[in-house]
Amino acid sequence: MEQTFMKEKKILPLVLSMSLPMVISMAVNSLYNIIDSYFVAKVSENAMTALALVYPMQNLVNAIAIGFGIGINAVISYYLGAEDKKRGDMAATLGMFLSFLHGMILMAVCLLGMPWFLKIFSSDKDITSLALMYSNRVFLFSAVISLGLSFEKIFQAAGHMKVSMFSMLCGCLANIILDPLMIFGVGVFPKLGIRGAAYATGIGQCISLLVYILFYVFRPIPVKIGKTSLKMDGKILKKLYSVGISATLSLALPSLLISALNGILTGFSEKYVLVLGVYYKLQTFIYLTANGIIQGIRPLMGYNFGAGEHGRVKKIFRTALFMNMGIMFFGTVLSWVIPGKLIGLFTDNTATIEMGVMALHIISLGFVVSAVSVTCSGALEGLGKGSHSLFISLLRYMGVILPAAWVFSRFAGAAGVWTAFCFTEFVTAVFSLCIYHHGLKN
């Protein structure tokens, strides 16, 4: 398949053709996360709280896998644009090998470290027991996650966005179907409770990986993975990790943020920890949809940058920015029109729902402007400017929000924490535009 369409097709149709499959797949993935939490919430509120406590570590595993995958994507896209197929094959092969190693290490670290991690945030034995039941099973699939996400980024780099969409859909649909069967014990399935949610998640991830492998074998792409391309090339390694580490840190920062905010919120009530966990489940539906657009433009940015088409790079960025702002506006509307119904998906407790509605109202005021930092960060990753992207993420997830949350909470309690989200988006947006334009010039 010729890749020249990335520098020849009109910008808006090109961005739509590359992004819409990913928007659909990310939306389904977000829907899965909500449905997964919905069924777990039916077990008990403690089970949902347990899921919220494990979420930061799950997010960390995904962040490392996706972040390194972004590095693979950026390097392959650049070499395809520069018409250097040999190095593109080397980047894909080396990336897959290293992804597997990362997955095995993450599995060991998470399984051994979760008891210690959970003790920091909860002394409730029932909650920590449920959290361990879930985490001891879900982290067994860490290597599968790493390999599946690396395949995803390789197919995206080659412009095969529909393959990524189909593979993700297969895994997510399997998850959605298996969740109630394995949690509640329907038909031949035993009643496994929160353990069933973990197994359903792992099986879905295995199915996604299998679909990628089948596509790779029966519908070859321009990038080849093979023993002859497995060479520890210093230049490629540097490119993979310079983007991969920066992207990983950017994606891992939300996990650190959630853990830090949980520490602040537990000083008021453990119910706020549940509210924060519910918010991030709902936020996933909005931000991962926007992330679908980012995934669509990354290979376009890298390919056109490698091909010297700098004018197209700027037009692709502007198109993605306006699309993301539209998505964020839709999220804001939902947060004000049906906030009670959204929070009510995860708890029947009236007091918790009221807390969640207040949080959603305040946080959502920053949704539209957050499109600026999200788009700038993703575009810079596509250009191979990992350090610039990381700086934006550090501002957004650590440098501004944590001090603001601590200070505001001293005056307004938990409401101060929610206000810090909105405040951070406005501050970070200004810096993001400056950083993006600086990255283009250097």
- Render pLDDT for 119-155 as a digit per residue (tens, 0 to 9): 887 778 888 899 999 999 999 999 999 999 999 889 8
**How many structural domains comprise the chain?**
1
Give pLDDT, residue 109. Answer: 93
Runs of H (alpha helix) within 44-160: 45-81, 85-121, 125-138, 142-157
How far apart, in whole angstroms, are the C-alpha atoms of residue 377 and residue 387? Answer: 10
Confidence tier at 442 by pLDDT (50, 70, 90): low
Which residue from 209, 235, 223, 259 is spatially nearest to 92, judged by alpha carbons?
223
SS3 308: coil
In a domain, 4, yes or no: no
Confidence tier at 33 by pLDDT (50, 70, 90): low
Q: Which residue has the higher pLDDT, 286 or 169?
A: 169
In a domain, 2, yes or no: no
**pLDDT at residue 348 is higher than 60:** yes
3-state helix, strand, coil in the chain (%, to 5): 85, 0, 15
**pLDDT at residue 10 is higher than 80:** yes
How far apart, in whole angstroms, are the C-alpha atoms of residue 269 and residue 174? Answer: 36
Which residue from 430, 409, 411 is spatially nearest to 420, judged by alpha carbons?
409
What's the number of CA atoms in the CB half-sphere (13 Å) around residue 229? Answer: 18
Q: Which domain holds residue 226?
A: 9-441
Question: What does the pLDDT average to over 358-367?
Answer: 93
Confidence tier at 4 by pLDDT (50, 70, 90): low
Confidence tier at 376 by pLDDT (50, 70, 90): very high
**pLDDT at residue 306 is higher than 90:** no
Q: By CB neighbour count within 10 A (0-12 exposed, 13-18 middle, 19+ buried), where does 54 fall?
A: buried
Give pLDDT, residue 316. Answer: 92
Confidence tier at 325 by pLDDT (50, 70, 90): very high
> What is the separation of C-alpha 118 from the centre of its chain, rounded to a whole number of angstroms?
22
In a domain, 22, yes or no: yes
Question: What does the pLDDT average to over 10-16?
Answer: 86
Question: What does the pLDDT average to over 232-258?
Answer: 82
Among 156-160, 246-250, 365-369, top mean pLDDT goes to 365-369
Give the Cα-Cα-Cα angle 363, 364, 369 (nearest 5 degrees): 105
In a domain, 429, yes or no: yes
Which residue from 240, 292, 197 is spatially nearest to 67, judged by alpha carbons?
240
**pLDDT at residue 9 is higher than 90:** no
**pLDDT at residue 52 is higher than 70:** yes
In a domain, 340, yes or no: yes
For residue range 186-237, what is the model confidence (pLDDT) as tens digits? Answer: 888 889 988 998 999 899 999 999 999 999 999 888 888 888 888 888 888 8
Give pLDDT, residue 47. Answer: 86
**pLDDT at residue 30 is higher than 80:** no
In a domain, 216, yes or no: yes
Confidence tier at 3 by pLDDT (50, 70, 90): low
- Is residue 13 a contact partner of residue 284, using CB atoms and an 8 Å limit? no
Cβ atoms < 10 Å from Cβ of 250: 26
pTM assigned to the model:
0.72
Give pLDDT, residue 83. Answer: 78
Give pLDDT, residue 31. Answer: 67
What is the distance between the terminal CA atoms of the chain, rounded to a whole angstrom?
A: 32
Question: What does the pLDDT average to over 244-254?
Answer: 80
Question: What does the pLDDT average to over 363-387?
Answer: 90
- Is residue 167 a contact partner of residue 144, using CB atoms and an 8 Å limit? no
Region for 249 from its dihedrals, namely left if φ exceeds 0, alpha if ψ lies in -120 to 50, beta otherwise:
alpha
- Is residue 246 a contact partner of residue 387, using CB atoms and an 8 Å limit? yes
- Is residue 359 a contact partner of residue 347, using CB atoms and an 8 Å limit? no
Give pLDDT, residue 1. Answer: 47
In a domain, 236, yes or no: yes
Give the Cα-Cα-Cα angle 126, 129, 131 (nearest 5 degrees): 110
Structure tokens at 412: 């307004």
For residue range 95-127, what is the model confidence (pLDDT) as tens digits? Answer: 999 999 999 999 999 999 999 988 887 778 888
Across the chain, what does the average pLDDT equal?
87
Question: What does the pLDDT average to over 355-383?
Answer: 92
In a domain, 3, yes or no: no
